[in-house]
Amino acid sequence: MHGLVIVASLRNYTRKHLLFKAMQLSSSPQWRHGMQLREFQQKYLPMLKENDAWQPHLSAHPYALFLGFTKAAEFSSGALKLRLKRILQAEYRLKGSPVPQKIVLEELVFSLTKGLPRQRTGILWQAKHLDRKEKEGV
């Protein structure tokens, strides 16, 4: 798969979340962290659809929209803008730089995941944790 296809997918995904974040930050209707699907589907979404500006962006299935809004709520608008900036920089490098595509994509992935909370369930964490236990004799 060509790197530009991957970057375009990431760009569209991030743009969508930035748009959802903008909707969440609007004064009406008010987004509530921890909102359940039923409340989203029966109250929040119909109120959003009353705004003609948002209407074209809300045509997906309600559950898909709910998942998108929930994921967007995890990020600040500044973090989403920074992610989009990094993606656009990578796209520019893929189009006009002699740097190999693999390097550009690796740098992009590392820059996008930098600062994310560590998951203590990943295989690398488990391996490190097991090594520590062995050293401590546990």
The CATH number of residue 23's host domain is 1.20.272.10
Q: What is the DSSP letter of 16?
A: H
Domain count, the chain: 1
Q: Using alpha carbons, list the distances in angstroms from residue 23 to 37, 49, 74, 75.
A: 17, 11, 14, 13
- Tokens standing for 129? 């944790």
Per DSSP, helices labelled H in 26-115 are 37-39, 45-49, 62-72, 77-96, 101-113
pTM of the complete model: 0.76
According to the model, what pLDDT value does residue 10 have? 95
Q: Rounded distance, CA 24 to CA 20, Å?
A: 6
Query: What are the pLDDT digits (tens) for 115-134?
Result: 655 555 445 555 555 555 55
pLDDT category, 4, cuts 50, 70, 90? Answer: very high
73, pLDDT greater than 90: yes
Quote the longest CA-to-CA distance of the chain.
64
Q: Of 56, 26, 29, 23, which is closest to residue 42 (Cα–Cα)?
A: 29
Q: Distance (Å, rounded) from C-alpha 106 to C-alpha 46?
A: 41
Residues of the domain holding 128: 1-138
The Cα–Cα gap between 130 and 98 comes to: 42
